[in-house]
Amino acid sequence: MEGKLRVGVIGCGEISSNHVLGYLNSARYEIVALADLSEQAMHDFDKQFSEHDDYKPEHFTDAREMLEKSELDVVSVGVWDMGHAPMTIAAAASGVKAILCEKPMSDTTGSAADMMLVCRRNGVKLAIGHQRRFLPAYNLAKQMIGDGEIGEPRLITTAARDGLPNYSSHLADMYRYLLGDPECVWVMGNVERETDQWARAIPIEDKAFAVFGFDNGAQAMILSGLTSEHGFGARIYGSDGMIELSVDDLKIMNSKSDGWQEHKPDGDFAKYGFDNFEMIEAGAAQAREFARWITGEIEEYRGVATNGYKALEMVHAVYESARTHAQVEMPLKTRTHPLAEMIDSGHLPVRYPGRYDIRNRTLRGENTTLDTKNV
Ligand X SMILES: NC(=O)c1ccc[n+]([C@@H]2O[C@H](COP(=O)([O-])OP(=O)(O)OC[C@H]3O[C@@H](n4cnc5c(N)ncnc54)[C@H](O)[C@@H]3O)[C@@H](O)[C@H]2O)c1
Which span sits near ligand X by CB under 6 A: 36-44, 216-224, 256-264, 291-299?
Answer: 36-44
Which span sits near ligand X by CB under 6 A: 8-16, 181-189, 204-212, 240-248?
Answer: 8-16
Tell me: does residue 12 bind ligand X (CB under 6 A). Answer: yes
- Closest approach of ligand X to the CB of residue 60, in Å: 8
Ranked by CB distance to ligand X, the top (closest) residue is: 13
Residue placing its CB nearer to ligand X in the complex, 139 or 295: 139
Residue placing its CB nearer to ligand X in the complex, 26 or 131: 131
Tell me: does residue 10 bind ligand X (CB under 6 A). Answer: yes
- Closest approach of ligand X to the CB of residue 80, in Å: 5
> How far apart, in whole angstroms, are the C-alpha atoms of residue 102 and residue 117?
17
Residue placing its CB nearer to ligand X in the complex, 255 or 372: 372
Which span sits near ligand X by CB under 6 A: 4-12, 154-162, 172-180, 207-215?
Answer: 4-12
Tell me: does residue 67 bind ligand X (CB under 6 A). Answer: no
Residue placing its CB nearer to ligand X in the complex, 199 or 236: 199
- Closest approach of ligand X to the CB of residue 103, in Å: 5
- Closest approach of ligand X to the CB of residue 321, in Å: 22
Residue placing its CB nearer to ligand X in the complex, 6 or 200: 200
Q: Choose, by CB under 6 A, the member of 13, 57, 163, 233 that binds ligand X.
A: 13
Tell me: does residue 9 bind ligand X (CB under 6 A). Answer: no
Binding mask 151-170 for ligand X (x = CB under 6 A): ---------------x----
- Closest approach of ligand X to the CB of residue 129, in Å: 5
Closest by CA position to 174, among listed 204, 134, 227? 134
> How far apart, in whole angstroms, are the C-alpha atoms of residue 40 and residue 29?
24
Tell me: does residue 81 bind ligand X (CB under 6 A). Answer: yes
- Chain positions contacting ligand X, by CB under 6 A: 10-15, 35-38, 41, 63, 78-81, 83, 102-103, 129, 131, 166, 200, 359, 362, 374-375
